[in-house]
Structure 1
Amino acid sequence: MASAQLDVDHELKIQSTIHDLYGKRHALSNNNSQPNTVESPHQSMPVRDVPHPKPVNPPQAAPIVQFKPSPFYKQISEVLQPSCITNSKSKMAHSKNFTFLLTHHQREVLCKDRVQVQSMIRQSPKNHTQIQLRFCKLETSCEQPDALPPHLTVKVNNVSVVLPNFIPPTKAGMEPRRPNRPLNITNLCRHSSSGQNTLEVRYSSSDHEEYCVTVNVVKQLFAEDLLQKLKSQPVLSAATTRYRIKEKLKRDLDSDVSTTNLKLSLRCPLGKMRILTPIRGCKCTHIQCFDALLYIRMNERKPTWSCPVCDKLAEFTSLVIDGLFIEILNESDSDEIDFTDDGNWNSSKNVTETLIVGTPIKPIALDLSRTALKIKPASEKKRSEPDVIDLTCDSSDDDSPIEVASSNQNSGSENVLDDITMSVSSSAAHDKLAKTFGHSVAIPNI
């Protein structure tokens, strides 16, 4: 009996092991064919397919617009980052509101500058710090210059900002536009720590252009400051300028015409005054220089940065001082110089014509003789008019001679024939006068 019981237990264990192996194998086959179901050795239960969540992309940030830096303003900190002011709901009219708050550092810089300005009575403040408002077109490919939207109205804390005056149109039919320059809103902002500032911008455009706005704390620079900054930069060597002059005056063997000298002026083409600091643009191909201070002051009023010699773009960062012209200005007192093909220079001699005012005119002698009066110039082809006999005198004056006045009086000889009398001695004239007056007329002989 005991051996029989052992055989039964052994058989049951073998069957259990076979069943487990079968279940495991069956579960593996189901996983390969049906991945959505899981089956255990004892019981298999279907499992539903749960969809995996798709990765959510982070929201894209607004395009960052880079404003073109101005040499007359040095940025200290940013108050309001460049933001788009275009309203997608309307195609023409756009408006948007912004809020900004000054930091402790910005308030400290503005307060310090205000104290310095108040201490300088009736003097122009240097390095004036201000809160500046700038506009530009929404373009991320390159740095954007200042561009005011058309039909713009700006309010800071519900107070309108004074915009630049309109520029008169150069052509008929053109719409007047304002000069593109930054706006100073320092006096309209609240400088306290708890004072929040509001900015309201409105504009309308028919060309569907998109614009951006930004607010910064900047330090204003003047023409004298930029001149000192320019002088601190490296000076173009005189050898480099001489080499360029030699290349310009280099003789071309294939050409019949060659230039042997080059004449340059030491007067600025802007103010027609003698150059003090000679500068030239890096992209300019000419040798002629112009004065640095006059050029910077001109662009301070109207920033075009156009070379007065060749009209090419000559920005402040591309200006360079010419060392050869500095040597010439220190050594020469002339207004013009001549360069030769070997790179040397000579003072040009100015040839002037002197006109003496009040020079006496030599009198012309006039010959009033009868022979001279009868001679007439060959160029005078006018036919002389006949002499006129004055017969209006009273008939009772028998003894008075008859005067014959010539109508061909020479105005240049001051009527020299007015005092000359002519006599009539022919018999025919005597008979004619007798018939006219009814009696004989005595004609005296001269």
Structure 2
Amino acid sequence: MDNTQQVDDLVDELMVLKVVELKALIRDLKFLVANAIRTATRKADMCRNIAYLMIRSKRQTVIAAVNDYMPSGHHFVLQHDTVWPARRAPNATTTTTSTTITPELSSRAAGGATTSSMITTTTSFKPTPFYSSVQRLAGPLICPIVSNTCLIRTLMFTLTEAQVSLLQSHQIRVFCAACPSDPSDFAPRPLEFPQVSELHINNNKQISAQQLRGIKNSPGTVHAANITQWIDHAGSNQVQLIYAKTQKQYVVTVELVKVHPVEELIQQMTMNQSVTKEDILASFREQQANADIQLEFETLSLKCPLSCSRITLPCRSRNCRHAQCFDGVAYMKMNEQTPTWKCPVCNCPIPFQDLIVDGFFADILANSSESIQSVRINSTGELQHEFTVKEESDDDQEQESTLSTPLLSSSGATEQSLPTTTTTPTTTSTLPTNSNNNRPVVMVDLTLSDQE
């Protein structure tokens, strides 16, 4: 193919882009090829410089970066070291397998909808109770494996008036997940960004890799990136995922989501996921009947292991075998920040749908004063003892309190608890004392040198 004719053909395809899109594309290419492209002010010159770069580099990553900006039906292919407009390529009707990423995988979405040249992927993301997808604005884009360089994947979209009106209760988020290694694996994928990655929104906001990284790089421990506040409501929006050093492919999309606040989720749990006291006690008896080791009693703390304050909404997993609960509000707020979804008592996974509101624990809370910190129940769930620490702010002496309060048994009848004695430790002394040794404590200053 004549070089001049080849350049003209590529320029003709590139002319469909707007000037603002060409400028953004040139910025991406400069980042990708270390400033190996000249800048220009005229649209035709911009297109010509991009065409020259594609011909000279003969790199699939460059072709993919250009294709990210091209609308449906206007993309490029690299065949036998020659760059062609896809519709004019000699083998345009056949599928090439020599390239790392096909043109269909690198097309972009514009105008608020996914273009027909996008991949048709069955990859879906694991749902979260905090937001649900309403409409896909851009993508999906495949992010191929890169080792010695970085790659830029660009998604573009424009909001409609109807979409803008929803932003009071909705958000725009960037979703990303690893592609399944098995094409027949249609299971929803946990959210996960490449370990070395950044998000750039409209060239004026950057979300760093630290904000996109989950706990110990574990999939599913990061939320989709919220970019709502940096979106242009009237014009075109550009979202760029810049990443490097990956060992697997990723898929990325931009989606309009409806937000579900914690208060709404708590109300849903209370209405639909509550288990009565009687059902809880029946499960205790069933567990004990099937257990190899019989437990005589279990001590339950009325303080949440997450918030360290008194439990207000006692929750646990329907699959957990312990009776200890945690505060449902604290658990949901913690996962709203970082989605670990692990039981704070036994560390087992607890997705939202497996949470229950424990009616038995709620009954204990309702019939225990604020001073009660823990209770003891027997193997059938009957209440045996209540324990408290009496705090005196004006007296540093050790206090002893004997409790003898009527308690509720599992049948609802009151019974007299056994007297229990608890001790409040004094807070005036910060050094341990020994009753058998009254020698004074010698303080040694370790900051002194040997010569002093």
Task: Give the TM-score normalised by structure 1.
Answer: 0.54
**What amino acid maps onto 1:238 in structure 2?**
K
**What amino acid maps onto 1:317 in structure 2?**
Q
**What amino acid maps onto 2:143 in structure 1?**
I
CA contact (8 A) 1:133 1:214 kept: yes
Partner of 1:200: 240
Alpha-carbon deviation of 1:248?
A: 4.2
Q: Does 1:210 align with 2:268?
A: no
CA contact (8 A) 1:249 1:262 kept: no
The separation in 1 between residues aligned to 2:198 and 2:189, in whole angstroms, is: 21
Q: Does 1:99 align with 2:156?
A: yes
Q: 1:243 to 1:87 in 2, by over 3 A?
A: closer
CA contact (8 A) 1:73 1:220 kept: yes
Choose which of 353, 371, 383 in structure 2 pairs with 1:317: 353
Q: Does 1:149 align with 2:194?
A: yes
CA contact (8 A) 1:136 1:148 kept: yes
Q: Does 1:138 align with 2:179?
A: yes
CA contact (8 A) 1:83 1:213 kept: yes
The separation in 2 between residues aligned to 1:168 and 1:202, in whole angstroms, is: 14
Choose which of 187, 190, 203 in structure 2 pairs with 1:158: 203
Partner of 1:24: none
**What amino acid maps onto 2:345 in structure 1?**
V
- Secondary structure class of the residue paired with 2:133: strand
The separation in 2 between residues aligned to 1:167 and 1:201, in whole angstroms, is: 11
Equivalent positions of 1:382-393 (< 5 A) are none
- Secondary structure class of the residue paired with 1:335: strand
Equivalent positions of 1:99-248 (< 5 A) are 99-110=156-167, 113=168, 127=169, 129-139=170-180, 140-163=185-208, 165=210, 180-192=222-234, 195-207=235-247, 209-248=248-287
Q: 1:357 to 1:221 in 2, by over 3 A?
A: closer
Partner of 2:343: 307
Partner of 2:378: 340
The separation in 2 between residues aligned to 1:61 and 1:217, in whole angstroms, is: 19
Q: Does 1:351 align with 2:389?
A: no
CA contact (8 A) 2:304 2:327 kept: yes
- Secondary structure class of the residue paired with 1:161: strand
Partner of 1:5: none
The separation in 1 between residues aligned to 2:290 and 2:296, in whole angstroms, is: 8
Q: 1:202 to 1:321 in 2, by over 3 A?
A: same
**What amino acid maps onto 2:333 in structure 1?**
R
Q: How many residues align?
A: 277
Partner of 2:301: 265
CA contact (8 A) 1:166 1:177 kept: no
Comparing 177-186 with 130-139, greater Cα deviation is found at: 177-186
Q: 1:94 to 1:266 in 2, by over 3 A?
A: same
- Secondary structure class of the residue paired with 1:353: strand
Partner of 2:143: 85
Q: Does 1:330 align with 2:360?
A: no
CA contact (8 A) 2:178 2:250 kept: yes
Alpha-carbon deviation of 1:68?
A: 1.3
Q: 1:150 to 1:258 in 2, by over 3 A?
A: closer
CA contact (8 A) 1:167 1:176 kept: no
Alpha-carbon deviation of 1:351?
A: 2.4
Task: Give the TM-score normalised by structure 2.
Answer: 0.53
CA contact (8 A) 2:118 2:140 kept: no
CA contact (8 A) 2:301 2:375 kept: yes
Unaligned ranges ≥5, structure 1:
1-54, 114-126, 359-446
Alpha-carbon deviation of 1:307?
A: 0.2
The separation in 1 between residues aligned to 2:212 and 2:165, in whole angstroms, is: 37
**What amino acid maps onto 2:326 in structure 1?**
F
- Secondary structure class of the residue paired with 1:348: strand
**Alignment root-mean-square deviation, CA:** 3.8
Larger strand proportion of the pair: 2
The separation in 2 between residues aligned to 1:108 and 1:351, in whole angstroms, is: 63
Q: Does 1:67 align with 2:125?
A: yes
- Secondary structure class of the residue paired with 1:158: coil
CA contact (8 A) 1:250 1:341 kept: no
Alpha-carbon deviation of 1:347?
A: 3.4
CA contact (8 A) 2:190 2:220 kept: no
Unaligned ranges ≥5, structure 2:
1-92, 96-116, 388-419, 429-452
Larger-gyration structure (1/2) = 1
